[in-house]
């Protein structure tokens, strides 16, 4: 099985990732895999390397990094026969945790090598042309991502400090959200649209969400004070944030969000400038991904790609 490993040396905790390179080389050599190992050199490079892998006939393309690396690699694999595999080593690892993937590098590599794994077809999302696989967001959500991406120290404590600083400086904004025949006017602190159930670090922004049901979950958080924000933070980790009176949750295959002005959105933690109208859509079961045989995060027992999948090549 022809495989390409794409390694991001600067994702997550850099010192830990530096130790991964010899582990990856030793694993490929010990298993005599038909595989190559390439390192990214900057933003967007992982997409280029993944597209080259697809064109070269690789059956699996392995993203070794965090959510940003996963996003860049997966972009090139949508509607192709190649399967994404993850060796998660970022600071959040939201999609990997949702799918029950091992976080220990050697255990993740064993799964990549087809031991205890299977290939499933999962949904992907897009926002104004930018693909996402775990979650996207705007308002405070995007502001926190922008600030976090400039930090040299990562991890949950750093994220929490960044979120508190952004919260202290953030203003609410008025948005109109439409999905199907539902149209609502909301004063929001943030809007997140989730494919999986969590941001990462087991912070559940959309409890119960699934990645292969053809739906996305929109979670709008209304303006709150400091005590309300602390309560919402606790609810994130308890898995019941949608029970808060400050939260409005909608499900759908497509959302239109109208906000007062152009601004930031994030896709899996990476930020982009977009217009005042934000179009979010799901692309049902458009990505093949390696998951554990015991994965319980999928809504359907049939792991094969949908009918006509092979005909959807770009």
Separation CA 208–CA 144 (nearest Å): 24
CATH superfamily placement of domain 3-123+284-312: Probable inorganic polyphosphate/atp-NAD kinase; domain 1 (3.40.50.10330)
d(CA 244, CA 69): 33
Phi, psi angle pair for 19, to nearest 5° = -80, -10
Between 22-36, 136-150, 276-290, the lowest mean confidence (pLDDT) is in 136-150
Average pLDDT value for residue range 9-25: 75
Q: For position 300, what pLDDT does the model report?
A: 58
Tell me what pLDDT residue 301 has: 46
Q: Residue 96: pLDDT above 80?
A: yes
Give residue-wise pLDDT tens across range 167-190. Answer: 777 788 999 999 999 999 999 999
Q: How confident is the model at residue 239 (pLDDT cuts 50, 70, 90)?
A: very high
Whether the pLDDT of residue 8 is over 80: the answer is yes
- For CATH 2.60.200.40, list the domain ranges present in the chain: 130-282
Cα 68 versus chain centre, distance: 8
Other CB atoms closer than 10 Å to residue 273's CB: what's the count? 10
- Strand order of the β-sheet with 263-267 is 247-252, 216-221, 190-194, 135-139, 263-267, 270-274
Average pLDDT on 53-76 reads 96
Who wins on pLDDT, 16 or 133? 133
Q: What size, in residues, is the chain? A: 314
Quote the distance between the C-alpha of residue 59 and its chain's center. Answer: 22
Q: How confident is the model at residue 306 (pLDDT cuts 50, 70, 90)?
A: very low
The end-to-end CA distance of the chain, in Å, is 22
Of 132-146, 160-174, 237-251, where does mean pLDDT reach its minimum? 160-174
Q: How far apart are CA 125 and CA 190, in angstroms?
A: 18
- Residues 84, 91: Cα–Cα separation, whole Å: 19
Residue 134 has pLDDT above 50, yes or no: yes
Percentage of the chain lying above the pLDDT 70 cut: 90
Condensed to tens digits (0 to 9), the pLDDT of residues 183-217 reads 999 999 999 999 999 998 899 999 999 999 999 99
Contact criterion met (CB below 8 Å) for 178 and 193: no
Cα gap 136→195, rounded to integer Å: 9
Q: Which CATH architecture group holds 130-282? A: Sandwich (2.60)
| Confidence label for 161 from pLDDT (cuts 50, 70 and 90) | confident
Range name among 27-36, 148-157, 179-188 with the lowest pLDDT average: 148-157
Angle at 211 between CA 172 and CA 314, to 5 degrees: 100
| Contacts of 278 by beta carbon, 8 Å cutoff, 6+ apart | 127, 128, 138, 255, 256, 257, 258, 259, 265
Q: What is the pLDDT of residue 154?
A: 65
Contact by Cβ (8 Å): 279, 176: no
pLDDT band at 234 (very low <50, low <70, confident <90, very high): very high
Which residues have C-beta within 8 Å of that of residue 26, sequence separation ≥ 6? none
More confident residue, 285 or 91: 285
The CA-CA-CA angle for residues 44, 81, 308, to 5°, reads: 125
Q: Where in the chain is the domain with CATH 3.40.50.10330?
A: 3-123+284-312
**In contact, 278 and 266? CB cutoff 8 Å:** no
Per-residue pLDDT of 250-297, as tens digits, reads: 999 999 999 999 999 999 999 999 999 999 999 999 999 999 988 888
* Dihedral class, residue 44 (left if φ above 0, else alpha if ψ from -120 to 50, else beta): left
Predicted confidence band of residue 314 (pLDDT cuts 50, 70, 90): very low
């Amino acid at each position: 099985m022809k495989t390409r490993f794409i390694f991001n040396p600067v994702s997550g905790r850099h010192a830990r990732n530096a130790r991964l390179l010899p582990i990856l080389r030793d694993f490929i050599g010990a298993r005599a895999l038909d595989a190559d190992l390439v390192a990214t050199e900057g933003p967007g490079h992982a997409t280029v390397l993944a597209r080259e892998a697809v064109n070269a006939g690789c059956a699996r393309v392995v993203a070794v990094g965090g959510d940003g690396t996963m996003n860049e690699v997966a972009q090139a694999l949508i509607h192709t026969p190649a399967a994404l595999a993850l060796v998660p080593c970022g600071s959040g690892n939201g999609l990997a945790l949702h799918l029950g993937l091992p976080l220990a590098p050697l255990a993740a590599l064993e799964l990549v090598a087809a031991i205890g794994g299977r290939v499933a077809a999962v949904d992907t999302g897009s926002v104004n042309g930018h693909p996402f696989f775990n979650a996207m967001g705007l308002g405070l959500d995007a502001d926190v991502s922008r600030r976090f991406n400039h930090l040299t120290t990562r991890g949950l404590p750093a994220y929490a400090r960044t979120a508190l600083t952004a919260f202290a400086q953030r203003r609410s904004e008025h948005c109109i959200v439409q999905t199907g025949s539902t149209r609502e006017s909301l004063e929001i602190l943030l809007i997140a649209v989730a494919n999986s159930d969590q941001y990462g670090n087991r912070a559940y922004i959309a409890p119960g969400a699934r990645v292969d049901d053809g739906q996305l979950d929109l979670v709008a958080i209304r303006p709150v004070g400091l005590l309300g924000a602390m309560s919402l933070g606790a609810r994130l980790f308890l898995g019941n944030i949608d029970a808060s009176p400050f939260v409005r949750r909608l499900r759908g295959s497509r959302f239109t969000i109208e906000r007062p002005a152009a601004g930031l959105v994030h896709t899996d933690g990476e930020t982009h400038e977009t217009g005042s109208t934000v179009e979010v859509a799901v692309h049902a079961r458009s990505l093949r991904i390696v998951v554990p045989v015991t994965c319980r995060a999928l809504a359907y027992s049939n792991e094969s790609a949908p009918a006509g999948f092979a005909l959807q090549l770009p």
